[in-house]
Amino acid sequence: MEQLFNQLSETILNDLNTGEHLKVAIGGENSQFVRFSQSKVRQSGLIDDASLSIVLIKDGHTCSGSFTLTGNIQKDETTAMIELNRLRAEVGTLPKDPFVVMPEDTGSSQEEHNGSLLNDEKAVSALSPAMQGVDLAGIWASGRIFSGNANSAGQKHWFATDTFSLDYSLITPDERMVKGTYAGSHWDQSEYEKNMAKSIAKLRMMEKPGKKIKPGAYRTYIAPAGVADIVGMFSWGGVGEASIQQGDSSLCKMRQNGIKMSPCFTLSEDFTSGIVPRFNSNGELAPEKLDLILAGSLKNTLVSSRTAKEYGVQSNYAGEGESLRSPVLSPGELNEDEVVKKIDNGIYLSNLHYLNWSDRPGGRITGMTRYACFWVENGEVVAPIENMRFDDSIYNFFGENLEAVTDKAHLHPTVETYDGRELGGVSCPGILLKSFELTL
């Protein structure tokens, strides 16, 4: 696909007229999908998909379009030229964009990460034995994901990686659930079976009679999967500079009032793992690592070139939406194997669900406990708890109530497939809280 992209982008870019500027991007995948229900294969298939997008800029006007590629260079070149001419006809009818980001050549890149994936024909036989005897519903996705970017200033980027993920839920007869994900780039049958065995052990605990707890503040451990969901909220009116400038960011208190979080809390945008490309939709390369919150203090925000123009600040080449693309929450010193003992009396939350801001400027997040959440007494898991809603502030549970962070970070990959398999994920440890507010 890289060769196809190179040919298409060169054809389009060589046809530009005076005063026209262009950005061209490709995205796609070569994937296997298998859908499981009741631990049986219900659907299986292979997908080869790619689309090309074009952004035309002329005299401060911007127009964009995209189309699905066939893989036939002659057909795709013809479609690309039709699309370019359509943009030429429309671009002048649109209002001027005062913050348009022009193409620049800041250097090109070529990055490929070859994994060790299960053979398509052997995937089901490798996955199925470990899930027998339980009710599992889930999706297996495996294969290559690729992305490319080129512009009329001469810059060109290419990124491709091999990944797999099994995103699943285990379900008890009375419909309590345990959620799990096994993902990576290099398949390890033994590690997969250990992962599934741990999930099944939690499922057996979920079969015990449930415990109804009262609303209130509890000593709480949130496992890495739950922490990853909370970190994901920072992409939604959190670390983006535009949100802070507009006064609706959850981090406004840190910028405007000097409020700090716990010294145990360090959040970075870190591309060194190579799971996502550093270039954004404009072809701009972000720093390999950017500390956002360092030991509880706000050091940087994500700043797109568009935001930089609008507010007169320095860009660090974040994406247009200024969301986290490769977030890493630094581990601490709490031994992961001693978490339940350290809870003593309180709650163990494996996962959270339905997260939303209840007061974004105040940093308050609401959501539900769900999927393998337990009551702990005297350092031992006693019973699953009934679903509860929480409502608490990041300045509490990432601030003064953050007692400890576990010593291992786990990657929780992005598994959405709405417009194709997505790249990225959150790398984070678990957190032990002195207090966490359950409301009803």
Q: Which pLDDT tens digit goes with each residue over 19-67?
A: 999 999 999 999 999 999 999 999 999 999 999 999 999 999 999 999 9
Is residue 177 one of the residues assigned to a domain? no
Taking residue 246's Cβ as centre, other Cβ atoms within 10 Å add up to 13
Together in a domain, 255 and 356: yes
Chain mean pLDDT for the chain: 96
Together in a domain, 400 and 296: yes
Query: Rounded distance, CA 260 to CA 296, Å?
Result: 5
Number of domains in the chain: 2
Is residue 198 one of the residues assigned to a domain? no
Average pLDDT over residues 377-389: 96
CA distances from residue 106 to 112, 145, 252, 279, 304 in whole angstroms, order as listed: 20, 24, 32, 11, 15
Together in a domain, 115 and 222: no
**pLDDT higher than 90, residue 208:** yes
Residues in the chain: 440
Output the DSSP codes for 128-150.
Answer: SGGGTTSEEEEEEEEEEEEEEEE
Average pLDDT over residues 238-251: 97
Closest to 260 in 3D by CA, of 402, 433, 426: 402
Residue 168 pLDDT: 97
Percent of the chain with pLDDT strictly greater than 90: 97
Together in a domain, 401 and 314: yes
Query: Rounded distance, CA 347 to CA 197, Å?
Result: 22
Burial of 320-345, coded b for 16+ CB within 10 Å and e otherwise, reads: eebbbbbbbbbbbebeeeebeebbee
pLDDT band at 374 (very low <50, low <70, confident <90, very high): very high
Percent of the chain with pLDDT strictly greater than 70: 100
Q: Which pLDDT tens digit goes with each residue over 321-356?
A: 999 999 999 999 999 999 999 999 999 999 999 999
Is residue 50 one of the residues assigned to a domain? yes
Together in a domain, 67 and 151: yes
**pLDDT higher than 90, residue 417:** no
Q: Which pLDDT tens digit goes with each residue over 87-141?
A: 999 999 999 999 999 999 989 999 999 999 999 999 999 999 999 999 999 999 9
CB 425 within 8 A of CB 409: no
Q: DSSP state, 96?
A: P
Together in a domain, 91 and 236: no
**pLDDT higher than 90, residue 419:** no
Residue 182 pLDDT: 95
Residue 370 pLDDT: 86
Query: Rounded distance, CA 171 to CA 69, Å?
Result: 40
Query: Rounded distance, CA 405 to CA 429, Å?
Result: 7
Strands (E), 223-272: 267-270
Is residue 174 one of the residues assigned to a domain? no
Is residue 271 one of the residues assigned to a domain? yes
Together in a domain, 159 and 283: no
Q: Which pLDDT tens digit goes with each residue over 267-309?
A: 999 999 889 999 999 999 999 999 999 999 999 999 999 999 9
Please tell me whether residue 81 adopts helix, strand or coil conformation.
helix
Place of tokens 């600040």: 313
CA-atom Rg of the chain in angstroms = 24
Is residue 182 one of the residues assigned to a domain? no
Together in a domain, 116 and 254: no
What is the residue range of 101's domain? 2-130+140-165
Residue 352 pLDDT: 95
Together in a domain, 238 and 365: yes
CATH number at residue 86: 3.30.2290.10
Is residue 367 one of the residues assigned to a domain? yes
Together in a domain, 411 and 333: yes
Is residue 187 one of the residues assigned to a domain? no
pLDDT band at 418 (very low <50, low <70, confident <90, very high): confident
Query: Beta 109-113 vs 156-171: how paired, if at all?
Result: parallel
Query: Rounded distance, CA 395 to CA 433, Å?
Result: 12
Together in a domain, 276 and 411: yes
CB 4 within 8 A of CB 69: yes
Residue 50 pLDDT: 97
Together in a domain, 155 and 221: no
Average pLDDT over residues 249-274: 96
